[in-house]
Amino acid sequence: MARTPDAIGAKALEFLSEYHLATLTTLRKDGSPHVVAVGFTWDGEAGLARVITFEGSQKTLNVERGGYAVVSQVDGGRWLTLEGPARVTREPADVREGERRYAARYREPRPNPRRVVIEIAVERVMGSVLDPA
């Protein structure tokens, strides 16, 4: 059952701080799903999941066309899915924030002058790590 982001409690936050990749799902022009492995970060204060990527990537094109995205992180029986409208931002401050958060969770990203950030405004969450309803 899908819930709102306020269901993300301590157990889910701990899971989101661990070093795990996730899948990002967007829709191609023909409506079929485009699913790729990504690193992502969660900003609970802003309600945003962020994915750093580069200008012209398929995921960037899909988000700009479709405006909706899903990230899903899995580790054995633990999982968490975050869904919502998405946008691509090229604003230097947003890109720096995306890179800073990525570096804190994973590693310092390689320099990329074509860097952009996909921001997902999370509206629905599902997962085994959510606090009971």
Of 75, 10, 79, 23, residue with least CA distance to 49 = 23
Is residue 26 within 8 Å of residue 34, measured between CB atoms?
Answer: yes
**Alpha helices (runs of H) in the chain, residue ranges in sequence order:** 10-17, 58-66, 92-105
Strand locations in the chain (E): 22-27, 33-38, 41-43, 48-54, 68-75, 78-89, 115-121, 124-127
pLDDT in tens, 83-109: 999 999 999 999 999 999 999 999 999
Task: Please identify which residue in the block is written with the tokens 């968490």.
Answer: 80
Residue 20: is its pLDDT beyond 80?
yes
Give me the domains of the chain, ranges plus CATH numbers: 5-127 (2.30.110.10)
**Identity at 107, one-letter amino acid code:** R
Residue 65: is its pLDDT beyond 90?
yes
Return all residues near 76 (Cβ < 8 A) that are at least 6 apart.
none
Retrieve residue 28's tokens. 């191609």
Q: For position 80, what pLDDT does the model report?
A: 98
Write down the pTM of the prediction. Answer: 0.95
Q: For position 19, what pLDDT does the model report?
A: 95
Of 49, 15, 39, residue with least CA distance to 110 = 39
- Phi first, then psi: what are they for 19, rounded to 5°? -80, 95
Q: For position 127, what pLDDT does the model report?
A: 96
Task: State the average pLDDT over residues 13-29.
Answer: 97
Residue 2: is its pLDDT beyond 80?
no
pLDDT range class, residue 133, cuts 50, 70, 90: confident
